[in-house]
Amino acid sequence: MSTRLRFSYSDLHQTIADGVKKIITSDFQFDVILAIGGGGFIPARILRTYIEKPLIAISLARYHPDEPPSEVPHKIQWVEGVNNMITGKRVLLVDEVDDERTTLAFAIGELLAENPAELGVFVMHNKIKVKKAEFPDAVKHVFVGKDIEDVWVDYPWDARDIIQHELDAAKGGILEVDEAEAKAAYRN
Amino acid sequence: MSTRLRFSYSDLHQTIADGVKKIITSDFQFDVILAIGGGGFIPARILRTYIEKPLIAISLARYHPDEPPSEVPHKIQWVEGVNNMITGKRVLLVDEVDDERTTLAFAIGELLAENPAELGVFVMHNKIKVKKAEFPDAVKHVFVGKDIEDVWVDYPWDARDIIQHELDAAKGGILEVDEAEAKAAYRN
């Protein structure tokens, strides 16, 4: 059996709205929202409802279809063509979850090489756990929608059956499930 | 007063799942999912749950913050750096709604210049109305999640108050509302 957290779409939208309040009451301002795809696409798009800035994307994958699995994420899409929105600009990088921080740390390291004026980070969820990397000193603002415990999260956008997912979320969202069954029911 | 359609997140997820069935039962296969941002980000990410392909994005805006309003969309982010995933490849372009078709027609025209092997289109919603452009002959596959009537749609991701939005959607999702109030309640 495996413990799963299942949040409804509405929960997550609200978590982002709550996180936005932390940005607005901070001294951090930014010129552009940079989503880390795939996971950051939906949080970044929701965030833009509350803070209207141009929205661009990079796309990283831990597993590239044409290559063996790797600890270092692959760049599916990088910043070519939008460097002028990053170099010398204040960028808010958005992802869905800070888990072991592997993808986030990789993205931050690579983006700092593009010389943004400032690089802030927004994550919808932060898992309370030991991370594989610290945020570098250059990243002075890290905003978290909500801290969550270190269990597997099934996000609604990964659900093959969204009606069942939302029912599970409405019942409290924490479940003990058969691992193989959960793997079949979700993309991840 | 103004007529509004308000769909829940769950409705839209299901609409995309229904649209995916049409792709799977067609003879169209593709190598990459290309989201048109901002509107296509969320539909494209949900679609990827059902058909696992690399997800990349372009970003277009009818109104660029630094320029006067224009009938021709501006390229906020284009295909530099991912041309190798477009030229000679089969691309599925994803957007949230085919309304007057302005943005979609612009994106298609520009993308065909990149010489994809095939370019298919997926829209979550198609508004039944006169369009400003026809799909070019080169686009042989257009998939629609659901046809809807030609009224203003308030999407959940544009809601400033998601709890109210989901309540409205649960009550049937069609409302007569004060226009100024609706404009304040949604990003668009």
Residue A122 CB neighbour total at 10 angstroms: 28
A65 and B82: CB-CB below 8 Å? no
Whether residue B70 is contained in a domain is answered as yes
A54 and B45: CB-CB below 8 Å? no
Question: pLDDT digit string (tens) for B55-80?
Answer: 999 999 876 556 666 778 989 999 99
Average per-residue pLDDT in chain B? Answer: 95
Whether residue A113 is contained in a domain is answered as yes
Question: pLDDT digit string (tens) for A150-167?
Answer: 999 999 999 999 999 999
Range of the domain at A21: 2-179
B96 exposure class (CB count in 10 Å sphere: 0-12, 13-18, 19+): buried
A187 and B49: CB-CB below 8 Å? yes
* Residues with Cβ within 8 Å of residue A185, at least 6 apart in sequence: A154, A159, A160, A161, A164
Banded pLDDT at A65 (limits 50, 70, 90): low
- Which residues of chain B are within 8 Å of residue A84 when distances are taken between CB atoms? none
Question: pLDDT digit string (tens) for A78-122?
Answer: 999 999 999 999 999 999 999 999 999 999 999 999 999 999 999
Banded pLDDT at A71 (limits 50, 70, 90): confident
Banded pLDDT at A186 (limits 50, 70, 90): very high
User: Residue B30: what residue type?
Assistant: F
Whether residue B159 is contained in a domain is answered as yes
Whether residue B187 is contained in a domain is answered as no
Q: Name the interface residues of A facing B (CB cutoff 8 Å).
A: 8-10, 13-14, 17, 35, 37-38, 41-42, 44-46, 48-50, 52, 54-57, 59, 61, 65, 76-82, 85, 156-160, 162-163, 166, 186-187
Question: pLDDT digit string (tens) for A28-64?
Answer: 999 999 999 989 999 999 999 999 999 999 999 876 5
Tell me which chain B residue has its CA closest to the CA of residue A81: B80
Whether residue B99 is contained in a domain is answered as yes
Whether residue B186 is contained in a domain is answered as no
Could you give the percent of chain A with pLDDT greater than 90?
A: 88
ipTM of the complex: 0.96
**How far apart are the C-alpha atoms of A158 and A161, rounded to whole Å?**
9
B45 and A80: CB-CB below 8 Å? no
- Mutation choice for A interface testing from B13, B75, B89 by most A CBs within 10 A: B13
Number of domains in chain B: 1
Question: Is B36 in contact with B104 (CB distance < 8 Å)?
Answer: yes
Degrees (nearest 5) of the Cα angle B55, B61, B66? 130
Find tokens 């991912």 and name the residue: B82
Catalytic residues of B: 99
Residue B149: CATH number of its domain: 3.40.50.2020
- Work out the end-to-end distance of chain A between its first and last CA atoms, rounded to an integer number of angstroms: 16
Q: Give the pTM.
A: 0.96
Whether residue B156 is contained in a domain is answered as yes
